Amino acid sequence: MLNYNQALPEKKTFQDLHMEEIKPIMKLIIRGKKREFISAVGKSLNILLPTESNTSTQSDKLTALWLSPDEWMIFSNEPVDENTNNYETEELLKNKISKINLGAITDVSDQFVTIKLKGDKIYELFQTGSPFNFNDFKYKKGAVTQTILQKIDIIVHNQDKNVANLFVRRSFSQHLFSWMSDAASRL
């Protein structure tokens, strides 16, 4: 990523909770309705798009999150090269999807900031500022939800036990992170 400015330079560690931005993570929003679209994405990336609501699927390199019946987010499991803005995955999908009008591919790598949370108290933190019911969510590995935290739109991905990914729009990220730090210090 060229001229990359880190949104959240700080890392925060509390008792039973650690949170930091991980970057640069490639993120793509893909949209399409047809069945051919889902199978074309599956074949090109070797990943099965989740069709059940609020779920995700994972391959070695990528994770696909269900966002809406015709919308998914694909992100790289590991940080990508900092020195380029070109992603192999995006190029591949552009050729296999966009160019033949099967669906739309949008690069949102810089639009969303990825915050990784680790620890026992992730969902206790979310519960202090979100109307979403996390009771079942926290035990379901791979669960995904779009909801609001402190009035800010977020995407939460339950990656593993005590590990969650949070995606927030970049302009909200500093405010949200400082709120989360404050809330976490009082848990």
Positions that interact with another protein (CB under 8 A):
53-54, 67-69, 71, 131-133, 145-148, 153
Cis peptide, bond prior to residue 24, ω within 30 of zero: yes
Q: How far is the CB of 118 from another protein (least distance, A)?
A: 26
Nearer to another protein, 17 or 156 (CB): 156
Instruction: State the CB neighbour count (10 A cutoff) for residue 21.
Output: 20
Q: How far is the CB of 154 from another protein (least distance, A)?
A: 9
Q: Which residues contact 182 (CB under 8 A, 6 or more apart)?
A: none
Between 37 and 72, CB nearer to another protein: 72
Number of neighbours of residue 95 by Cβ within 10 angstroms: 12
CA dist 128 and 130 (Å) reads: 6
52 versus 182: smaller Cβ distance to another protein: 52
Rounded to the nearest 5 degrees, what angle is found at the Cα of 23, between the Cα atoms of 185 and 155?
A: 65
Q: Which is nearer to another protein, 14 or 132 (CB)?
A: 132
Closer residue to another protein in complex, CB, 11/141: 141
Write down the least CB distance from residue 46 to another protein, Å: 26
Name the CA dihedral angle for 89, 94, 100, 102, rounded to a multiple of 10 degrees. 70
CB of 68 to another protein, least distance (A): 4
